[in-house]
Amino acid sequence: MKAPKFSYVRAESVEHACKLLAEHGDEARILAGGQSLIPTLNMRLSRPALLIDINRLEHLAGAIFNGKEVRVGTLTRHADVMLSHMVAKYLPLVAEAIPHVAHVAVRNRGTFGGSVALADPAAEMPACLLALGGRLVLQSVRGTREVAAEDYFHGLYQTARAPDEMLIEALIPPQTSDERSSFKELSRRHGDFAVAGVAARARVKSGTISNVRLVYFGSEVKPTLAKTAMAAAEGKIWNDATAEAVSTALASDLDPMDNLLGKPATKLHWQRVLTQRALDDITSKAKAA
């Protein structure tokens, strides 16, 4: 459990980091919180030649609302997302999800951008980004581009980010006052990656739900927008019949992985239960408001 040899450079600026990424390509890795990267090095599961440490680029940390959207810097620690007033005010879905991310010690080091860059299928932040229609800002020596969350997550640890690109920040539209959101997940122990989970949002008007967005994670290879289930719920009163229709539709949206955490049928079952609970939660939050 000792990492193989690697070189280490502390990035002086984003440009410096991008230059190094351009030079070393897939041989280099950005080092953010290190909570996922360092274990893979120690287990010799990955052996990059160069680590580019961005921890001193403090301007990449923090969440602000610029009047249009919330910008979450890549280096924002999970712990700071949890404490952020901006997040609490404009992104209640993220605020509800973040306590599910790992444990205190890991949240103190682990970063928002690290989680997005890694794209673990059970990670909470990617699911929230997709549910909220966020965009990701990527920079390289070739320039800067924005990628919508829907186009960013490609598969198991696969994203739209090119090897020479660095993730800079996420741009997330604020949740509107007439919508409600809910975040539900199941994990074997608190802080473990989820075995199933849903990030849900909708507008609720006199019992009718619209603008429904349901994103599933944990069971799928990547955060997954459940379009058929969303259509089945859209414009409907949230009742047993709608729940049934959504539950049925979910089977065509999801393709759960078969692994140690459960069989595909079990995971589909869990996602159905969580969907029911999330939409119950959304409608009861609407009632309470």
Partner 1 sequence: MTGTVTPKARLTPHDRPHSYVGRSLSRAGAKRAVAGKGRYTDDITLPRMLHAAFVRSPWAHARIKGIDIAAARKAPGVRVVMTGAEVAKLCTGPWVGTLTCFPTMKSAPQFPLAVERACWHGEPVVMVIADTRALAEDAAELVEIIYEELPVTVDKTTALGPGAVVLHPELGDNLAFEKTIDIGNVDQAFESADLIVEETYDFARHTAVSLEPRVLLADWDAASERLQIWTSSQTPHMIQHVIANTLGIPDHNVRVVAPDVGGSFGLKIHTYGDEIATALAAKVLGRPVKFVADRLESFGSDIHARENLIKARMAFTKAGDITAVDFDVVAGAGAYSQYPRTSVFEANQILNITAGPYKHKHYRAKATVVYLNKVPSSQYRAVGHPIGITVGESLLDLAATKLGIDPLEIRRRNAFPDAAFPTKTASGVKLADMSFTRCFDVLEKSIGYRALRADQAALRKQGVYRGIGLAAFIKGTAPGPNGYYGVGGAPISAQDACTIKLEPNGGIICAVGVTDQGQGVNDVMQQIAASALGVEMAAIRIISGDTDATPYGGGTYASRATAIGGEAVHQAARALRAEVLELAGVLLQAKPETLDLISGKIVDAATGMERLPLREIGRIAHFQVGQFPNTVHPQLSHTRRFRLLDDLYIFTNGIQAAHVEVDMETGFIKHLKHWVVEDCGRVINPQLADEQVRGGCVQGLGGALYEHCVYDENGQLINGTMADYLTPMSTEMPDIVVEHVVTPTSASELGAKGVGESGTGAAPAALMNAVNDALLPFEARVTAQPITPESILIALGRV
Interface ranges with ligand FAD (CB under 6 A): 29-37, 74, 78, 101-102, 106, 109-111, 113-115, 117-118, 120, 123-125, 166-167, 191, 193
Decide if 232 contacts 275 (C-beta within 8 A): no
Please report, in angstroms and rounded to a whole number, the separation of the first and last CA atoms in the chain: 52
| Residue 113 interacting entry, from partner 1, ligand FAD, none, C-beta within 5 to 8 Å by type | ligand FAD
Task: Work out whether 190 is an interface residue with partner 1 (CB under 8 A).
Answer: yes
225 binds, among ligand FAD, partner 1, none (CB under 5 to 8 A by kind): none
Distance in angstroms (rounded) separating the CA atoms of residues 59 and 14: 10
Q: Do residues 238 and 205 touch, judged by C-beta distance below 8 A?
A: no
The nearest distance, CB 9 to ligand FAD, in angstroms, is 13
List residues bridging with 215 in a β-sheet: 199, 225
User: Are residues 140 and 127 in contact, defined by beta-carbon separation less than 8 angstroms?
Assistant: no
Residue 8 binds partner 1 (CB under 8 A) = no
Out of partner 1, ligand FAD, none, what residue 245 binds, judged by CB under 5 to 8 A for its kind, is: none
Phi-psi region of 157 (alpha: psi -120 to 50; beta: other; left: phi over 0): left
Residue pair 246/237 in contact by the 8 Å Cβ criterion: no
The SS3 of residue 79 is helix
Least Å from the CB of residue 258 to partner 1:
12
SS3 255: coil
C-beta of 187 vs 208, nearer to partner 1: 187
- Please, which residue, 190 or 240, has the CB nearer to ligand FAD? 190
The H-or-E segment that residue 85 falls in is helix 85-90
Residue 75 class from Cβ within 10 Å (0-12 exposed, 13-18 middle, 19+ buried)?
Answer: buried
In a 13 Å sphere around the CA of 128, the CA atoms on its Cβ side amount to 32
Residue 270's binding partner out of ligand FAD, partner 1, none, with CB under 5 to 8 Å set by partner kind: partner 1
**Is 280 one of the binding residues for partner 1 (CB under 8 A)?**
no
What, of ligand FAD, partner 1, none, does residue 44 touch, CB below 5 to 8 Å by kind?
partner 1
Selection from partner 1, ligand FAD, none that 263 binds (CB < 5 to 8 A by kind) is partner 1
The label of the residue with tokens 């690109």 reads: 165
Report the partner that residue 197 touches, choosing among partner 1, ligand FAD, none (CB closer than 5 to 8 A by kind): none
Segment near partner 1 (CB under 8 A); pick from 24-32, 36-44, 71-79, 87-95: 36-44
Does residue number 44 form part of the binding site for partner 1 (CB under 8 A)? yes
DSSP structure class, residue 219: S
Q: How far apart are CA 128 and CA 225, in angstroms?
A: 11
- By the rule CB under 8 A, 4 interacts with partner 1: yes
Verify binding: residue 189, partner 1, rule CB under 8 A: yes
Return residues touching partner 1 (CB under 8 A). Answer: 1-5, 39, 43-44, 186, 188-192, 195, 260, 262-263, 265-266, 269-270, 273
